[in-house]
Amino acid sequence: MKKIAFITGATSGFGRAAARKFASEGWSLVLSGRRLERLVELKEELEVPTHIIQLDVRDADAVKRAVAELSSEFSQVTTLINNAGLALAPEGADKVDLADWHTMIDTNCTGLVNVTHALLPKLIEVGAGSTIINVGSIAGQWPYPGSHVYGATKAFVKQFSYNLRCDLLGTGVRVTDLAPGIAETEFTLVRTKGDQSASNNLYQGTTPLSAEDIAEHMFYIATLPNHININRIEVMPTRQAWSPFAIDRD
């Protein structure tokens, strides 16, 4: 069977690395993102059949149209990678702009369910071996200061993935929550609204994960034997671990 991966948020970071990895293994691709020029550039780079869609996953009607308009060459999607997402507002909850909270919820939760709902019939039609990979975060399991709504949205990703597994029992469709730790991408630039020094400081002096590391995990999950489902992978760099509980003192 022809292998086709539908990847959201393909213009940077994990999504772009996943596109390159799956293309290197001969998969056809459907790539979506908001920055059309980056999608065009990526398509020109890849040497496999590639369909690009300028898409804001928060727009449910646009998502439905994009999926409905897939040509026969790209319609039989075998793997969905729900990668589109972002973190904003690293400040404490009492200092955050409410609009940033709404943007994270609308993208990380609403966008994910929009795409999943639109593609479920195609994945179920493929059946055994079809895969949904939802990109979560260690923040969905482990709280930290400034995570507030971002962590809550990634906890939603985890629980949605688990419950989706229950509903898809018997269809052959697999679901995995892939939860990375610290990784050097545009994540911090987006979170700090372009503060390059904040991004540099976060990764300085340590060895974070790379986008390519996560793409390798995605490909591994998508190509396991049909009878194997990994419910959740939480992956941190070796140089990251937990800290003791914080205690307020007089």
> Considering Cα of 125, then 6, then 57, then 144, what sign does the dihedral take?
positive
Q: What are phi and psi of 117, to 5 degrees?
A: -60, -40
Burial 68-100 (b: 16+ CB within 10 A, else e): eebeeebebbbbbbbbbbbbbbbeeeeebeeeb
* Known catalytic residue at 150: yes
Catalytic residue among 150, 162, 203, 220: 150
DSSP state of 140: G
Report residue 179 CA to chain centroid gap.
9
Return the bridge partners of 132, or none.
Answer: 80, 175
Report residue 180 CA to chain centroid gap.
10
Contact status, residue 99 vs residue 153, Cβ threshold 8 Å? no
CA distance 92 to 54: 33
Residues tagged active-site: 150
